[in-house]
Chains A and B, each alone.
With several copies, the nearest count.
Chain A
C-alpha cells in the first residue's frame, strides 16, 4: 500500500508490501526489508533484516489519520494518509476559515478577559481555564476581532468545546 507519512517538519512517500516474514518497504525511492512484530496494541518491534538493527516502537492512533510513535526517547507525531487523502487534506487546509478558540482540556472557566467586538493581538490572554489545580491562560493565536464569546466564568467546559471566535 502507498502512504504519505508527514508532519510539519517532514513528509515521506512510503510504499509497503507484505512479504513472507515481514515487509518490503520503499521509502522515498529506497528499498528496505523489515520485520514488524506487534506485541500488543501499543508496542511493536521493528527490525531491519539486512543489518539486524532493532527498534522497540510504541505507537498510538489519534483521531482520523493521526499517529504518535515513540522510538527510543523520541516521540514523533505523524499523519499517515493515502495519496488521495493527502491531496484532499491540502485542499481543505488551503480554505481554512476564521480562528476559533477551543478548550484544549476539560476544565472550569475562571476568567474571561474579552467581550464580543474586542480587538485582540496575537498572544493576548482571552480566557483562564482551571484544571488540575492550575490556572491555564488561553491566548489568541492571531491578531483579530472577537466575533463571539461562548462561555462565562464558573462554567465547566469539555475538551474541544468552542470558547470564543476570532476573525
Chain B
C-alpha cells in the first residue's frame, strides 16, 4: 500500500513516520526549494511538482494527482493547510480512485463555510457567539452590526482559518480599513474575499475538542486542548488538558462536539473549536476538518496515535478507541517554533539554519520539518518545528518546558523560542491565567520586554567574556580554521538593530 503526502514540513514527516510504522510506503511531492527537505528524504518515492510558489506546487491539484498516478498511490493525505480543507481536491482524489485520508467532501464543504457551519450549530442546539450568519455586503452593513451589538468585533474571511484573514476592530474609525484588509487577505490567501462579522467575546479562552468518527456510526471525543495563547488569532502555545476544564465541562464540550460531528456526517479525526468565557459558558467557533497542528498534546496525554487512527478510519476500519477507555494522564504543552523574530515585531526570518540542537530526554518530543543546514524558504508558513513536553502534572510540565528551552538552540534564523523563554518565566503562565487576548496585550505592553530584559549580570558577563575570547581566537585563526566564521548569517540580514531584551512596544 502506498500513501502520497500532499504537504511539506513537519506534518509531512509526521505522517510518513506513521506510515512507516504501519508498513505503508510513502510518496513525497516537493517544490523546487524543497529538493533537500526532510519529507523528501524520508519518502520511498519523491516527485518534483513545480516552483516554490504554493499556487504552482503544493496547491497544484493536477501536478499532485499526476504524481500520485505515476507513483501508483493508493491513498492521499493532505496534512493541514494547503489543500487539507479543499473539498474539490478531496472529490478529485476520490474520482481518481484514490482513498482520501480525511472526512467526506460534503462535510469539508459544510464545515468550511462559516455561515453553513453556524447554521448547523443552531440546528443542533450548540451555542453561538452573536454575529451575522451571512457575509457582509458593505461597510454600512458592518457599521449597522456594530451599532446593534457594540465593539469590539471580529472580522473573519468566510474561507479563512488558522488566524489568517481575521481582524479585530476596537474603534469605529478602523472599521473601513479593517474591512478592506480582511477582504484583501481573504482574496489573496483563500481565493474568496467574502467577510463576515461577529461580536468579540473578551477574556475568553480558546478550547477545542478532538473528535474521531468512523464509517460505521462510532464516534468519540478525545478530551480538549487549551489554545488561548495566540498572537493575532494564531495559536502559539497549546496544552492538554485545559487547566480550567473539569470533568463536567469536558463531558458537555465533548457532547456538543459529537453533536456537530453527527450533524455534519463527519468521518475521520477532526477538531471542534469553542470559545469559553470566564463564567464557563461556551460558544461554537468552527470545526477544523483535518489533522490539527496541535494533535501531539492529545496523543501524549491520552496515549493514542491520531495519525494511525486517521489512516485506519480512511481505510474503512472501525474506530479502535472507546469513550470509556479514554482517560487523561499527565499534562502536555506544545510550543510552535516559528521562523519569526520576537525581538523585531515577529518579522519573518527565513534563511539557513546554521545550528540546530534539539532538546531530548524524558518527556520531550520534537516534530520538526528542518535539520541543521536546512534553508527555511520564504514561500510557506514560518512554522519550522513543534516542541512538545509531557510530565506527570502541569507544574512539572512547565518546569520541563523551561528545561527543554535551555537545551533547544537554533542559530541562523530567529525563532519564537525567544518568546517562549520569556513566557515560561511568567506568573500568568505558571498559573495558567490567560485568555485569547493575553499574548497580544502582553506584546503591546512593556512587561514581556522587562521580563526578558531581566538583568542577568552573570550571563551577560559570561557572554562578554566569551565574545572577547572567541573574537581573539578568530583574529588568530588561519584561513582554513574549520571553526572560522562561515559567513552569510541571516539574522543579520533581518537588520539587527534591536537591543538585548527589547520587545516591540
Whether A and B touch (Cβ < 8 Å) is answered with: yes
Chain A residues close to B by CB (< 8 Å)? 1, 3, 5, 7-10, 12, 14, 16, 18, 23, 25, 27, 32, 34, 36-47, 51-63, 66-78, 80, 102, 104-107, 110, 130-136, 159-160
User: A1 touching B472 by the CB < 8 A rule?
Assistant: yes
Nearest Cβ on chain B to A62's Cβ, whole angstroms: 3
A-B contact pairs, 13 of them (CB 8 A): A1-B472, A18-B476, A45-B40, A46-B469, A52-B45, A60-B411, A61-B487, A71-B463, A73-B402, A73-B405, A78-B467, A106-B350, A107-B348
Would you call B298 an interface residue if the criterion is a C-beta within 8 Å of the partner chain's C-beta atoms? no
A34: B residues at CB distance < 8 A: 465, 469
- Also in contact, A74 and B456, with CB within 8 A (given A38-B483, A53-B45, A133-B381): yes
Question: Which B residues, 348 to 362, have Cβ-Cβ distances below 8 Å to chain A?
Answer: 348-350, 354-355, 357
- Cβ contacts B488-500/A at 8 Å (1 or 0 each): 0101111110111
Complex contacts, B459 vs chain A, CB 8 Å:
55, 71-72, 74, 76
Pick from A7, A25, A58, A72: contact of B468, CB below 8 A. A25
Within 8 A of A (CB), among B127-148: none
A10 to B482, CA, bound (A): 31
A1 to B472, CA, bound (A): 7
> Cβ of B43 and Cβ of A54 under 8 Å apart?
yes
Residues of A within 8 A of B462 (CB): 46, 55, 57, 71
Compute how far the CA of A54 lies from the CA of B458 in the bound complex, rounded to whole angstroms. Answer: 11
* In the complex, per-residue mask of B164-194: 1 if CB is within 8 Å of any chain A CB, else 0: 1000000000000000010011001100000
Chain B residues within 8 Å of A32, by CB: 465
* Contact status of A78 and B463, CB under 8 A, knowing A45-B36, A66-B492: yes
**Residues of B participating in the A interface, judged by any CB pair closer than 8 Å:** 27-28, 35-36, 40-47, 67, 70-71, 164, 181, 184-185, 188-189, 339-340, 343-344, 347-350, 354-355, 357, 371, 373, 378-382, 402, 405-406, 409, 411-412, 418, 421, 456, 459-476, 482-487, 489, 491-496, 498-501
Query: What residue in chain B is nearest A6 (Cβ atoms)?
Result: B464
Q: How far is the CA of A25 from the CA of B473 in the complex (A)?
A: 13
**Cβ-defined contact, A68 with B47, below 8 A:** no
Shortest Cβ gap from B67 to chain A (Å) = 8
Indicate which residue in A25, A104, A135 contacts B344 across the interface (CB closer than 8 Å).
A104
Given A78-B463, A104-B347, A136-B348, do A60 and B469 touch, yes or no (CB 8 Å)?
no
Q: Knowing A52-B47, A71-B466, A72-B459 are in contact, say whether A41-B486 is a contact too (CB < 8 A).
A: yes
B302 to chain A, nearest CB (A): 30
Shortest distance between the CB of A13 and any CB in chain B (Å): 9
Given A59-B470, A61-B485, A136-B348, does the pair A159, B494 have CB atoms closer than 8 Å? yes
B348 engages A14 (CB within 8 Å): no
Contact B27 A52 (CB under 8 A): yes
Nearest A residue (CB) for B472: A16
- The answer for the CA separation of A127 and B482 in the assembled complex, in Å, is 41
Complex CA distance for A76 and B181, rounded to whole angstroms: 36
CA distance A89 to B409 in the complex (A): 31
A52-B45, A58-B411, A62-B491 provided; 8 other pairs, C-beta below 8 A?
A23-B472, A25-B465, A46-B469, A51-B45, A54-B40, A76-B460, A104-B347, A135-B185
Chain A residues with CB under 8 Å of B188's CB are 110, 130
Tell me whether B46 and A25 are in contact (CB under 8 A): no
Separation in Å of the A16 CB from the closest CB of chain B?
4
| Measured CA separation A21–B474 after assembly (Å) | 17
Known: A77-B498, A77-B500, A132-B378. A62 touches B465 (CB 8 A): no
A136-B380 in contact (CB<8A): no
Interface contact B40-A78, CB-CB below 8 Å: no
A70-B409 in contact given A104-B494, A132-B378, A135-B185 (Cβ < 8 Å): yes
- Closest residue of chain B to A61, judged by CB? B485
- Asked whether, in the complex, the Cβ of B466 is within 8 Å of the Cβ of A10, the reply is no
| Bound CA–CA A51/B185 (angstroms) | 39
Contact of B348 (CB < 8 Å), options: A8, A76, A132: A132
* B406 A73 Cβ-Cβ under 8 A: yes
Residues of A within 8 A of B461 (CB): 27
Q: Are A60 and B378 in contact (CB under 8 A)?
A: no
Chain A residues contacting B475 (CB-CB under 8 Å) are 1
Contact of A41 with B484 at beta-carbon distance under 8 Å, contacts A131-B378, A135-B181, A136-B348 already known: yes
A132–B382 touching, CB < 8 Å: yes
Nearest CB to that of B456 among chain A residues?
A74
Known A14-B464, A133-B164; judge A160-B46 contact (CB<8 A). no
